[in-house]
Amino acid sequence: MSDPIADHYKGLAAAYTDAIRASDFKANIVMFFLSLTIGPIIFNRDHFPHFLTLPVLTTPFLVMFFVLFVALLPRYPRRGRASFFISGRATPADFAYRGPNPNEAEELRLRVAILSDILYWKTLCLRIAFFVCMAGVLAAAPLLAIYAR
């Protein structure tokens, strides 16, 4: 018979895993479109006001690239290592079935806590990139209105 507590944590772990995958997909898409938009800005740098040098123009893009790259980095913390084996030289013996686990609910709680921590940092990085983008748009709008010809 299935343990309802373990089933609850398995559902939470699956939901967190799906949310982490979705945030990674969002970060990949934004990085792709950032790479498409930075080219025309660098190409047209002579048309911008003289006080907007190339480093000033590219700084928001570089900040967003860095933050999104940090969001895409996998985070496998040291806690919970017994239940989540990571090795460059893994063998099939490392993943042998050891019978029913009496502490399955505790291990699942730890896994959900780890996934929650990962999702928190990914979401924070995505929000920072979003706010840098919005700040750049809000700063560019008045400059465009003033210096447009």
Q: Does 86 map to a domain?
A: no
The answer to whether position 84 is within a domain reads no
- Asked whether residue 71 is domain-assigned, the answer is yes
pLDDT band at 82 (very low <50, low <70, confident <90, very high): low
> Domain containing 35: what range?
4-77+106-147
Residue 91 domain-assigned (yes or no):
no
User: Tell me: the pLDDT tens digits for 25-47?
Assistant: 999 999 999 888 888 888 888 87
Q: 62 pLDDT exceeds 70? A: yes
Q: Is residue 141 part of a domain?
A: yes
Long-range contacts of 74-82 (CB under 8 A, 24+ apart): 75/117, 75/118, 75/121, 77/114, 77/117, 79/110, 79/114, 80/107, 80/110, 80/111, 80/114
CA atoms within 13 A on the CB side of 15: 10
Question: How many independent structural domains does the chain possess?
Answer: 1
- In the predicted model, is pLDDT for residue 101 greater than 90? no
State the average pLDDT over residues 104-128.
90
| Residue 138 neighbours by CB under 8 Å, 6+ apart | none
Q: Is residue 97 part of a domain?
A: no
